[in-house]
A and B are shown apart, each in its own frame.
Chain A
Amino acid sequence: MAKDFDPSGRVPDYFVNAGTSSFTQFLSHVSPELLPGRRPLPPGLSGDVAPHGTTIVAIATADGVVMGGDRRATMGNLIASRDIEKVHPADSYSLIGIAGTAGIGIELMRLFQVELEHYEKIEGTMLSTDGKANRLAGMVRQNLGAAMQGLAVVPLFAGYDLSASDPAKMGRIFSFDVAGGLYEETGYDSIGSGSLFAKSSMKKKYRPGISTEDAIRLAVEALYDAADDDTATGGPDLTRKIFPVVMTATANGTHRLTEAEITAVAELVVAGRMENPGG
């Protein structure tokens, strides 16, 4: 931040002026090097240089949303990480999961968290759920160049909508494409390499108005099905006690299932598959 060294010692003008309430926009003036998607890449495909995160699922429930993600990151045929966490709270009422190039995804997720908090603090009020999704779409769009060269990252965004008038529409799920396209999903959605199998799994069992408890079970089942057929998705690791990260967003805020809670659900799912491997 060489521009900050004003000899008078004053905080630079762009910190003080009314300007924007968006942290990303602000950063693009002050320290563009901190933003993902602004770095020049060498020509050619670079997809194999960094680990990839895989399957995320989200389900709208009667009380809000449930989001779950497996714990694997892969690099080609190797498992880069067994315990990566790809589902995080975006703010007090919403969740973000990431699939694709893990490094860029985690950076995007952190930036999005600060983006929402920054707006909250500057404006004294929270962004609307649609506003949050639009911001995230804009941030994904910035990464298009890198995506074209194999460093694609796609988030899944889900939140409890405080301003929804219809109680059945409190839980909202948004998916994105690499070009920054924003699509609201009904009921459930999944992203990542195992999403095909996870979606098929959820399609058969999802019912509108599903309870949060059932949705948690459904999410873990779907991740199991994804891991069953996709090598890049990790299943429940009983020997190391590594289970999916599952979070909920409801009127009470976000909650990450504790070690004990998720262990209980995962063990039930595994026990069920002992009887019937197809679920």
Chain B
Amino acid sequence: MAMQFYASPEQVQRDRSDYARKGIARGRSAVVLTYEGGILLVAENITTLRKISEIYDKIGFAAVGRYNEFESLRRAGIRMADVNGYSYDRRDVTGRFLANAFTQTLGAIFTETQKPYEVEICIAQVGSSPEHDELYRITYDGSVMDEPGFMAMGGQAEAISSVLRERHESTADLKTALHLAAEALGSVGGENGQTRTLDAKMLEVAVLDRRRKGRAFRRIQGTSLLTLLVGEKDVAEKDLGDVDAAPPPPATTDKPTVSAASEEDVADKDPAEPADGVNGDGS
């Protein structure tokens, strides 16, 4: 007969925490920070599987950790937001509502199941000014934190956070904010503690543009990302002006794209995100 060993509840929780933390720390990191024109979401990501997504008009999502797990949470977020927005009004969908739903879900999974989710999630809601932006960090055990203007998730998040803490200003323009994000992400992970320089291919970038009416989320990719990262001129900043939400940018320009569903995607024939079955180990 097999012996049943006693494990104290503290020990069980600790083991699960360690397991989740290790899983998250293996993957690459992501940062979210406010800037003058909105909220910038940047993830270090060399794959086409996305870590950053649109949830609703003013709400964005960024995650690190295990792909299949945060992908299912992302879907749940979009579904909850769309059901609420459809049955009430678009203005009645808030970041806090989603943060609450995620924290309940992750908390329940952490306490009830054998294996906790190895994910860390950011729900960002852009407001009319940086003071009105909301950033919620939701961790694997369901704890939720309201972050002050910037946050880092993933492996070595502490080191990345300290770079952000020193230099983050909510009055910075997009280019400055993006450079800060790229440097913060590159401040860890180099050989012998060296810093790395991340180029456009290694970054997944999106903004929630506070000046846009309607859907504020758009990805910055391709030439516009290159221009922002290395170029002299500040192209996107003027493009992020008072554009209306409904019409997307003309097909021929190098502007940031409207959303995940922009014409650039169609032109590039990006493979659609695979369904949940695909396991990314947090890369």
Instruction: Give A residues with C-beta under 8 Å from B.
Output: 1, 8-11, 15-19, 23, 26-27, 30-31, 34, 89, 91-93, 110-111, 114, 117-118, 120-126, 162-163, 251-255
Contacts and interface: CB of A to CB of B under 8 A. Distances in A.
A118 B104 CA distance: 23
B104 A10 contact: yes
B75 A122 contact: yes
Interface string B248-283: 101110000011110101100010110111000000
Contact of B246 (A10, A123, A163, A254): A254
B163 to A, nearest CB: 30
B83 A31 contact: yes
Contact of B101 (A11, A17, A30, A253): A11
A1 B247 CA distance: 34
B85 A10 contact: no
21 contacts: A1-B83, A9-B104, A11-B105, A15-B75, A18-B75, A18-B276, A18-B277, A30-B79, A92-B261, A111-B86, A114-B82, A117-B82, A117-B215, A121-B82, A121-B260, A123-B260, A124-B260, A125-B270, A162-B266, A254-B247, A255-B247
Given A15-B79, A26-B79, A253 B272 contact: no
Of A34, A122, A251, chain B has the most CB atoms within 10 Å of the CB of A122
Contacts of A126: 261, 265-266
Contacts of B87: 31, 34
B204 to A, nearest CB: 12
Contact of A110 (B86, B260, B266, B275): B86
B235 interface: no
A124 B248 CA distance: 15
B78 A122 contact: yes
Contacts, number: 115
A20 to B, nearest CB: 10
Interface of B: 50, 53-55, 72-73, 75-76, 78-80, 82-83, 85-87, 101-102, 104-105, 107-109, 112, 215, 246-248, 250-252, 258-261, 263, 265-266, 270, 272-273, 275-277
A131 to B, nearest CB: 12
A163 B267 CA distance: 8
B263 A162 contact: yes
A114 B102 CA distance: 22
Contacts of B86: 23, 27, 34, 110-111, 114
A215 B78 CA distance: 38
B10 to A, nearest CB: 21
A10 B247 contact: no
Nearest to A255: B247
A34 B251 CA distance: 36
A16 B248 contact: no
B246 A124 contact: no
A89 B202 CA distance: 36
A123 B265 CA distance: 11
A33 to B, nearest CB: 10
B82 A123 contact: no
A27 B251 CA distance: 33
A183 B16 CA distance: 57
Of A8, A91, A120, A124, chain B has the most CB atoms within 10 Å of the CB of A124
A197 to B, nearest CB: 31
A12 B259 CA distance: 28
Contacts of A1: 83
Contacts of B273: 123-124
A42 B82 CA distance: 31
